[in-house]
Structures are given as structure tokens and as C-alpha cells.
Copies of this chain bind each other. A is one copy, B any other.
């Protein structure tokens, strides 16, 4: 039983957080520095962008949590600290400044940055901001931290859940920064998850690596993989459960909670995609195997033509078939059924790869909703997958076509 609760990244025992404006961003009303802190050193795991161009903070974080342990997360917005000659040095210095102020080890700090690529990150505002950032740490600071990592996200993204592991109540919370951009080069997804579950670092890593295949690797806003993507989990064990050191019932309970948190954040990120007016969820069933189900779901979600059709509330199923056809999936296109679904109902549009008659009026009514499911039934097996994305809109072009200058 997983129950949604309040508190975000501070919901789990022993975690505090804060977010402040330190001056990296010019707009003084926007927080640009966030901190998450665990009373106890926590098991830590992270996954990073597969882009060969990686933000300097990712390299530093990777080396810091190589031992599977961390105690704090510091993250600035407004500058990605990527493609800068002094990037690694600056990210290391950020960790040290925080560690010194808190009396913890710099090697226990997870460091992250999000914002413009290729502009040197000035350490001075961070240096100046850290004392008040640390001083203001609080059990109620989850939202402040969530705000501190936003760039042009239009919604704050946080969730927390309660679940049981071995008879003990555990909590897990997460915050995310999605891909709403006005100042370009910020398509940098960041997710920070905290939990008081006791779990060994290697099992935490296993849980995260497994779950992201079905969650964060199944979302797309524009097909551009960022240089700064990172998902991290800190687990401090303060819930008092017997430490999870192998697979089994406890691990399954943890996985279920992690999946709940991640799917929720995925949907929030996709629906707040750059310029998005709609959340698209593509569910594939009847595929040959999971790999093929994923390829199909992701291809539909990534099709610019289909995304533009959804913006126009146009039941253009031919574009769904087209995207399946070029996806590279092993699929019999003559056995595909497609339907659209929203709060306003369900509409079958394609059977066995060919169009069927439907009411354009009903189609429009369904597709004008804010959340649209595209349900695809292949006739090749029993495997399923889901992917999340958003529509392609004028605002996407506007946001990304604006001059940097």
C-alpha cells in the first residue's frame, strides 16, 4: 500500500532542505540555489545523461558517490557549468564551500547545475549564498529546494509517499526540474529523491537503474538529450527497517514506491515540457517483447508530426502508424489497433493497420483535453510499455527561437 503524503524531499525522516536566491540569476524573485541535507550519511545512487558532452558537476558527483555514500545535495539553477574550461574546478569548489560551512566531507556532497551551457559559472554568488542557505535548512524547506532548481518550469514538481518495508513505515520524496526553457540550453532534467529506507548502496543502485528504464528513459519533450540530466537517490536508513541487502519482498516494496515517485515526476516533467499544452501518454500492449513495446511507445511520443497534430486536437492516426512503421520495432503493421482516450471518452481510429470511420466531433472533444492517452494494440505478443511526452506548440518554437542575447 503506497500512500501519497506531503513534505516532498523532507518527508522522509532526517532530511531537511532549503532554497535561496544567491544572485546567479538576475531576477531576484527566483531562487537559484538549493540544498538537501540528511542528518545521517546516506546510501547514494545516481544515473547520468548518456550524452558524451557532460556537465562538469556530473563528473564531480560521480566521483563523490563512487563509495555509495552521500549526505547533501547542492544544486544551482541559471548556469549549467558545462563546456567550461574551469568546470570541474568550480564544481569541486562548490562542494568544498558547502562542506566547510556544514562540517561534512566534500566527498559526501552531490553537486548539480542547470542553466545555460558554455558560460563560466561565477562562484562568488554561491559563496555568498551558502551561509544563509545552510542556516535556513528546515523540515519545511522541501518546496524552497524544489523552487531553487527550477529554470523556466511553469510548475513546481514534488511528491512524497509512505509505504512499508518489513513492518516499518518508510517515506520517500522527490523533486524534479523539467524542460521548460526560455533562456536556451536548459533542457536539463534533474531529479533528487530522498528516503529513510535502510538499503545497501548496491541495492539502491540496482533499484534506480532498473526503474529509470520504465520511467525517466521513457519521456521525451523534443528528442534532445541534455548534457546535465541526473537522477539521484539518498537513502538514510532512519526508518529503522532491516537494511535491504538483496532482492525479495522488501526490495519489491521499495521498487514499487520508487516507481510511484518516478512515474509521478515523469508525468509532471512531460506535461510541463517546453511550450506544452497537453500531456501525452502512449501505452503499447500486445508487443512481441518489452524492448519492442518501448521502441513503439517512444517513437510515437517523439514524432514531431504527431505532437503537432495533438496540439491541433487532430485525430491523425496515420501519423501514429507512420511513427510505428519507422520506429525500427519488430512489428506486424497490419495487426495494429489504435485508439485515443481522455477524460471525455475513448475513440477507436484504426483496426488492423487500416482506418475505421469515426466521429470527427467526438475526436475533437476527446483530444481537446489536457491529458491524452494513445493506446496501441499490436498483435505480436503480450508485452507492454508506456511513454510520456507533450504536444509541439508555437510556444516551443518561441521559447527556443529567442535570441540568447
Contact = CB atoms under 8 A, between A and B. Distances in A.
A3 interface: no
A5 to B, nearest CB: 36
A401 to B, nearest CB: 3
Nearest to A221: B304
Nearest to A405: B360
Interface string A266-290: 0000000000000000000000000
A394 B324 CA distance: 26
A312 B401 contact: yes
A84 B392 CA distance: 28
Contacts of A2: none
B316 A404 contact: yes
Contacts of A399: 308
Q: Give the interface residue-count category, chain A.
A: 35 or more
Contacts of A354: 83-85, 118
Contacts of A52: 324-326, 331, 333
B185 A316 contact: yes
A196 interface: no
A318 B83 contact: yes
Nearest to A361: B405
B326 A224 contact: yes
B225 A397 contact: no
Interface of A: 49-54, 82-85, 116-119, 184-185, 187, 222-227, 302-305, 308-309, 311-319, 321-326, 331, 333, 350, 353-355, 360, 364, 392-394, 396-405
